[in-house]
Amino acid sequence: MDFEIDSGWKLHPVGGDTGQAYMGTRAEEKLFLKRNSSPFLAALSVEGITPRLVWTKRIGNGDVLTAQEWLNGRTLKSTEMSSPSVAQLLSRIHNSEPLRRMLARVGGEEVTPQQLLQTYEHELPHDLKIHPLLDSILKKLKKEVTDMKTVVPRVCHGDIYQKNWLLSDENRLYLVDWDSAMLADPAMDLSMLLFQYVDRADWSEWLEHYGVTVTEELIERVTWYALMNYLIQTKRHHHEARFYEMNKDILKLQTLYQMPDTETD
């Protein structure tokens, strides 16, 4: 272990690829400890979006260590991601003005569609650049971005997959791991969740629980972000030499690209 906290604590690495998270135990006390969490965590704790923040302290090597209550529970199953409770919690996050102000105050990045296109094209590997499907999708997104409705940026989680939804033994739902938080069009989060977990026929009902009426314009934005997210993920998997995952991304892109527009009620 390359850092120390008050004596008597035992640290046990838990989950994730960063090596930043631990279960800390001392006598009967148990906490979830993480190095260098976003300062945004305090606001999320106050709003009840994440488990309660117990303390924050700077340790010897300059890192900031946060401690949250340790909750017994589990991550959501993929079939549970289409539940009304998920829709309602995500809506509360996206529509929270206090959270938006706090994320802006602590330096949360505002991400626009144009920036996402630039991120994808920056140092794009040649074999992805000349890939016919990926090139066609990129041209489509560039064409459509000029007509996209300008949306007031809201707090977006940015990594909305089921592994980050925690259901406690007391049946309380939390959204955790906010390292990718940003200020953006909520359609970014919605695109990740809807295309991954909700049957297309059930979108209208799910979005009603979220608090909006389905419109053609909303579906166009959600679809734009879904294609954009998968392009960026394809590039990342290529960079990491995870070619099996990259090819799965390309197959998903092909399905999305060929999918007919959703009818709206």
Catalytic positions, written as ranges: 159
Say how far apart CA 140 and CA 143 lie, in whole Å. Answer: 5
Minimal CA–CA distance to 42: which of 110, 109, 105?
105
Radius of gyration of the chain (CA): 20
Query: Listing from the earlier edge strand, what are the strands of the sheet with 53-58?
Result: 10-13, 21-26, 29-35, 64-69, 53-58
Tell me the two tokens of residue 88: 């309602």
User: Which neighbouring-strand residues pair with 23?
Assistant: 12, 32
Minimal CA–CA distance to 93: which of 214, 211, 195?
211
The size of the chain, in residues, is 265
Axis-axis angle for helices 132-145, 243-258 (nearest 10): 50
Tell me, rounded to whole angstroms, the distance of Cα 3 from its chain centroid. 28
